[in-house]
């Protein structure tokens, strides 16, 4: 595990340790969100054993990233359009696609907006976004690149 973070759950599967953390350990903007990471369980002659280098929104994405890193090496570059085999795989199978939250999502948005309407627009917007994220919902737009 990352040396500064404290997992709420861990699982050892094969050669990996998967961890779940409360996102607030990284930043207040991740408060209420669960994040998942992986690390090599054993790295001979290295202090990197158990060290998580990147956190993902789902356990499935962390698992795909572990397998991809095993065969293609660790992520070496970042930025828009530059990802790993795991990122590509998750997009291709639709695992990270946005879906309509339906009536429950619209109801959650309306309830949160009503709760925070008197707090001023900037503060209310932040609180509404956090309320939705705690319920697994996000505010998003379609990117038509």
Q: Over the chain, what is the mean pLDDT?
A: 80
Residues in CB range of 42: below 8 A, 6 or more apart? 15, 49
**pLDDT of 90-109, one tens digit each?**
888 877 666 677 888 889 89
In 3-state terms, what secondary structure has residue 92? helix
Q: Is the pLDDT assigned to residue 9 strictly greater than 80?
A: yes
**pLDDT of 26-49, one tens digit each?**
887 777 788 899 998 876 665 555
Q: 119 pLDDT band (50/70/90 cuts)?
A: very high
The residues spanned by each domain of the chain are 9-92, 102-134
Tell me whether residue 76 is exposed, middle or buried, using C-beta atoms within 10 angstroms of its C-beta: 0 to 12, 13 to 18, 19 or more: exposed
């Amino acid at each position: 595990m990352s040396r500064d973070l404290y997992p709420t759950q861990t699982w050892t599967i094969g050669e990996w340790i998967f961890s779940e953390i409360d996102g607030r350990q990284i930043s207040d903007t991740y408060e209420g969100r669960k994040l998942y990471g992986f690390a090599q369980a054993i790295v001979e002659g290295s202090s990197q054993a158990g060290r998580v280098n990147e956190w993902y929104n789902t356990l499935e994405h962390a698992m795909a990233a572990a397998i991809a890193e095993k065969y293609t090496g660790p992520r070496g570059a970042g930025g828009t359009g530059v990802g790993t085999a795991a990122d590509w795989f998750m997009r291709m199978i639709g695992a990270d696609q946005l879906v309509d939250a339906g009536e429950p999502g619209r109801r959650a948005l309306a309830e949160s907006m009503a709760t925070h309407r008197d707090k001023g627009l900037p503060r209310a917007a932040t609180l509404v976004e956090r309320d939705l994220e705690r319920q697994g919902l996000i505010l998003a737009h379609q990117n038509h690149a």
